[in-house]
Structure 1
Amino acid sequence: MTQPPDPVAPADDTARALARSLLAEARHAALAVIEPGTGAPFVSRIALAPAPGGVPVSLISGLAVHCRALRENPACALLLGEPGDRGDPLTHPRLSLRARAEFVAPDAPGRADLRAHYLAARPKATLYADFADFSFVLFHPVSAVLNGGFARAYALHPADLLA
């Protein structure tokens, strides 16, 4: 019996550029985690901005289920990309990013710069950025699949995503 060809191609320069664009322009994402206590998948929407160097960063409340989940198991996934105003939403590009979450300690070197960078991109977060239960979380890419539209899927590595 013959194996069907893999529909996910290795990344090329066009795929890398599109994936980097989706990362740079993302203002929110669907975040998938494993729920503590149940082991079940859990999805939440989070605000997002690119940190210096392009790694996605978010500001997350410790009261959120996804925060507790990431502290217990930093393996996660983000879905980035918006459907356009017209046509089938599945024909618009999207990036499924597998990542490892890193909580930035309040006294971590570079945290002040990260805070300033994030708030420049998300100024309304100034209202709660310094609340004790909020933490900056970096999402370090592990791998990704870019769906660039119908019959255009690409496998990407961290080096493909971050310039």
Structure 2
Amino acid sequence: MTTRPDPVAAPDDEARALARRLIDGATHAALAVTDPADGTPGISRIAFGRGPDGALLTLVSALAPHHAALHAHPACALLLGEAGEKGDPLTHPRLMVKARAEFIAPDDPARPAIRDHWLAHHPKAKLYIDFADFAFVRFAPVSALLNGGFARAFRLAPEDLR
């Protein structure tokens, strides 16, 4: 039996830069969670951005199913990157980030700066950001997989995303 070489490479500076561009340019992401009711996977589109410290963030309502899912099972995954207007969507760069969700408490001293930073990048959130059921969630990356296009896949560590 022959073994194939791993097609996924260690990141180089170009891959790290592309991953950071995908993160920095994203205003939304797909979020994969585990449904606490039955243990099956679920996925949702969420608002997304970086915090003032560079952390990966979202703002989520307690009414959203992924809110309960993240509380019950903090392990999750994010998908960032958009298909271009032309060509095969699978040839466009995308980044999957495996992470652990951490809810930011309403009385966390960092919350006011996070709130202000979020509104600077998501101004429409002003309509609901202060509702009692909304919370910020920080995603602590565990690992990432960058697909930079055909034959350009890279495994990244959390420090590669900073």
Band the TM-score falls in, shorter-chain normalisation: over 0.9
Tell me the TM-score normalized by structure 2.
Answer: 0.98
For each residue in 1:1-22, what CA deviation from the matched residue of structure 2 results, as whole angstroms up to 9, or x when unmatched? 2211111100110000000110
1:95-114 alignment to 2 at 5 Å? 95-114=95-114
Same amino acid, percent of matched pairs = 62
Output the amino acid matched with 1:56.
L
Give, in whole Å, the separation in 2 of the partners of 1:126 and 1:76: 27
Give, in whole Å, the separation in 2 of the partners of 1:98 and 1:55: 14
SS in 2 for 1:4: coil
- Aligned-residue offset at 1:55: 2.0
Tell me the TM-score normalized by structure 1.
Answer: 0.97
Determine if contact 1:55/1:141 at 8 Å carries over to the other structure.
no
SS in 1 for 2:23: helix
Q: Partner residue of 2:38?
A: 38
Q: Partner residue of 1:20?
A: 20
SS in 2 for 1:45: strand
Q: Partner residue of 2:124?
A: 124
Q: Partner residue of 1:158?
A: 158
SS in 2 for 1:32: strand
Give, in whole Å, the separation in 2 of the partners of 1:116 and 1:7: 42
Give, in whole Å, the separation in 1 of the partners of 2:63 and 2:156: 33
**Cα RMSD (Å) of the superposition?**
0.7
Determine if contact 1:24/1:54 at 8 Å carries over to the other structure.
no
- Structure 2 stretches of 5 or more lacking a match? none
For each residue in 1:121-140, what CA deviation from the matched residue of structure 2 results, as whole angstroms up to 9, or x when unmatched? 00000100010100001111
List structure 1 segments (4+ residues) > 3 angstroms apart after TM superposition: none
Output the amino acid matched with 2:43.
V
Give, in whole Å, the separation in 2 of the partners of 1:159 and 1:75: 18
- Aligned-residue offset at 1:52: 2.2
2:56 matched to 1:56?
yes
SS in 1 for 2:135: strand
Give, in whole Å, the separation in 2 of the partners of 1:120 and 1:126: 10
For each residue in 1:70-111, what CA deviation from the matched residue of structure 2 results, as whole angstroms up to 9, or x when unmatched? 001110000000011111110000000001111000000111
Give, in whole Å, the separation in 2 of the partners of 1:122 and 1:158: 25
1:70-81 alignment to 2 at 5 Å? 70-81=70-81
Q: Partner residue of 2:144?
A: 144
SS in 2 for 1:145: strand
